[in-house]
Structure formats: C-alpha cells, structure tokens
Amino acid sequence: MSKDPLGIVARMNAMSLMMITPEFYKIRRMRSEGAARISEAPARFEMKPDFIEVDGLNIRVATSRMPDRPTVLFLSPLPQSILCYDAVWAKLSGHCDLIAVDLPGFGRSDGGSQYMSFDAQSAFLQKIMDVMALNDVHIVAPDVAMPVAMHHAIHRPEKVKSILIGDGPGIFPSADGSLIRKITKSGFWRTLVRLNGAKTFIAGALQLGYLHYSPTREEVEDYVKSYAGRIGQVTQYFKHYATGCAALTADIAKLNVPTQVFWGDEDGFLLVDNAHNLQARLPQGSVHVFENCGHFCYQDKSAEFAAMVRDWVET
C-alpha cells in the first residue's frame, strides 16, 4: 500500500481535535461508507494547472478556454487547492469558459502574511484579472474565497458579472461551528493550529468536511504541498475574521451584482443559517442549499454543484 500522505501522527492529532468538536459526531453518523477516507483509485485530473507571474508572484492557475461561452472563475478554498474543483470542472468543460486560481498565500501560489486579509486578496484578484484580460466574470468562491469575492464585487465590480459564494465568512454576526469559534476568537487555538502543522489541519478538515466524497491520494498530496510550512500565516486570516465580516456586512447594500449563495445543509464549520442570513441582506441574492451535504459541497455534490453553476451563468 502507498504511503499515507498525512501520516499517523497528524491523524491522531486531528482525531483528538474532533473528539472535542460536537459537530463531528453528527457528521460521522451521517457519512456514506468510505467517505472522507483517502481513495486508492488513480487520479485522472481533467484540470492541468500551470503558473503565471502576477506582480512578482507565481500564481497557479488552470484554464479551459471557450471565449464564446460565459466565463467562470473558480477561487480556491482552504485547506485545498484548485484541484478540488476537478469533478465540477469536468462537468462544465465544453459549456463554460473556465479559469481557476489559487489566490496568493493559498494552494500552490506564492504569497505571505501580507495577503491574509479580505481587502488584500481582493486587490490582488484585480491584478490577476488584469493580467489574464478577464471581463464579465462569474466568480465561484467558497470558504475563504467567499469574502474575497464579496469585497471585490463591492469595491471593484467593473469586471464582475455575478458571484457564487458559500460555505464561508461574509456576514456578521456569523453562525459558526465550534471549531471556527475557537480559531477565530482565541490566539491560543491559532497557535495550536500552527504548531500542529498542515497535515493535522488537512486531516481534521477531511473528517469534518465530507459526507460523501473520498479524495484521491494525489489530491491530498497536493493539499499537503500547498500548505507545508505556512499554516501559521493562514491563521492570520482567521485573526481578522470578525473585523472583516463586520466591514462586509456594513457595505452589503453596495453589493449590486447578482449573487448566488450556496451552502451544504450539514456544514460543520459554518452553519447553513449563514446562507439565509446573508441572502436576506443582499440586494440581488438567491440561495441554493445542498441537502445531505457537508462543507465541501462542490465535491460532496459535484453533479448538483456543476448544474447550479451552469444554470446560473446561462440564465
């Protein structure tokens, strides 16, 4: 059997953390057989990532260009990379003009602590869009990318046609699961996350985030490479979580691009209540809730997610 890309120590540390995370017990009871375990099936990625230089940084991107079709820009979540969209990508290829980007400091893209805020990510996203000559873009942004897309659509809407956001921070007060409350409100917990490292962080996310999906070994290896040695800087994103969400909420009336909110109904990180609270505040917002679905809905419900994106951008 191939070597475990996470390792026994990280798995034990992650399980210890799950034992004090109430949401985990419900997720574990609801899981499909084999879900959240690393699949030994060979990966056959439809996505072919490459790198471009933007403002002195190497930024990882993937493209499947069809200039006559709606342009869809996927932004990577945490603790994953753009490879998490591979199943959705395969279902949308041929129907949409596809681009995926690991934002600076996330995934396999360069970037340090100076990029760990909503506004810094939003400003850099504009540079990426300029370099790639993107216009009239539908931005798909779950998890940590969600507030980036919101900030961008509020303050830099010129190239944005719509945003599809979910499973992340963006409304204040936020309905957080117990693990997010710990990391966002406690310096001690952020230090603990930093000391345990990327493998424990990823192992915990797999346990709490999936109801149905089993990531491949190659996929998990990519996530480990993405965050090895820099999980500490990522915790800075959580340090500014409440302030950033409050600022977005104060400006929510200025978010005047069409907005599709999506959420997994059994999200153990950020509760589905956030989707309804956000939609109620949006000038142009609708909600799609994935039933019997965990936090990583683009993988747990990849066919339904792809259909949602396709229907949204075409209509």
Interstrand relation of 97-101 and 71-75 (parallel, antiparallel or unpaired): parallel
Could you give the CA distance from residue 255 to residue 284 in angstroms, rounded to a whole number? 8
Q: Please report the domains of the chain, with CATH numbers, ordered by start residue.
A: 8-314 (3.40.50.1820)
Q: Are 251 and 154 in contact (CB under 8 A)?
A: yes
- C-alpha to C-alpha distances, 166 to 13, 84, 144, nearest whole angstrom: 28, 15, 9
pLDDT digits (tens, 9 = 90+) for 98-112: 999 999 999 999 999
pLDDT of 284 reads 83
* Mean pLDDT confidence for 192-221: 96
SS3 157: helix
User: SS3 of 240, please?
Assistant: coil
Token code pair at residue 96: 């949409």
Q: What is the pLDDT of residues 58-98, one digit of tens each?
A: 999 999 999 999 999 999 999 999 999 999 999 999 999 99
CA–CA gap between residue 236 and residue 47 (Å, rounded): 30
Beta strands in 29-173 (DSSP E): 50-54, 57-64, 71-75, 97-101, 137-142, 160-166
Q: Write down the mean pLDDT value for the chain.
A: 95
Strand pairing partners for 141? 165
Beta pairing partners, 164: 140, 260
pLDDT digits (tens, 9 = 90+) for 249-269: 999 999 999 999 999 999 999
Residue 143, phi then psi, degrees to nearest 5 = 60, -130
Cβ contact 274:175 at 8 Å: yes
Distance of CA 14 to the CA centre of its chain: 20
User: Which run of H or E residues covers position 298?
Assistant: helix 297-300
Residue 236 pLDDT level (bands cut at 50, 70, 90): confident
pLDDT at 208: 97
Write down the H helix ranges in 81-137.
86-92, 118-131
Cα–Cα distances (Å) from 208 to 18, 20, 36, 72, 295, in that order, read 8, 12, 8, 28, 8
What tokens appear for 58 in the block? Answer: 């190497």
Q: What's the whole-number mean pLDDT along residues 203-229? A: 97
Q: Does the pLDDT of residue 126 top 80, yes or no? A: yes
- For residue 263, with 0-12 CB atoms within 10 Å meaning exposed, 13-18 middle and 19 or more buried, which class applies? buried
- Torsion sign, CA atoms 274, 144, 205, 2: positive
Q: Please state, in angstroms and rounded to a whole number, the distance separating the CA atoms of residues 22 and 229.
A: 29
How does pLDDT run across 269-291, given as a tens digit for each residue?
A: 999 999 999 999 998 889 999 99
Check residue 315 and give its pLDDT.
86
Residue 314 has pLDDT above 80, yes or no: yes
The 3-state DSSP class for residue 215 equals coil
Give this prediction's pTM.
Answer: 0.97
29 token code pair: 């009871």
Distance CA 265, CA 287 (A): 12
* pLDDT attached to residue 283: 85
Is the predicted pLDDT of residue 238 greater than 80, yes or no?
A: yes
Cα–Cα distance, 78 to 227 (Å, whole number): 9
Q: Which strand ranges, in their side-by-side order, compose the sheet holding 160-166?
A: 50-54, 57-64, 97-101, 71-75, 137-142, 160-166, 259-264, 285-290
pLDDT of residue 3: 83
pLDDT score for 1? 53
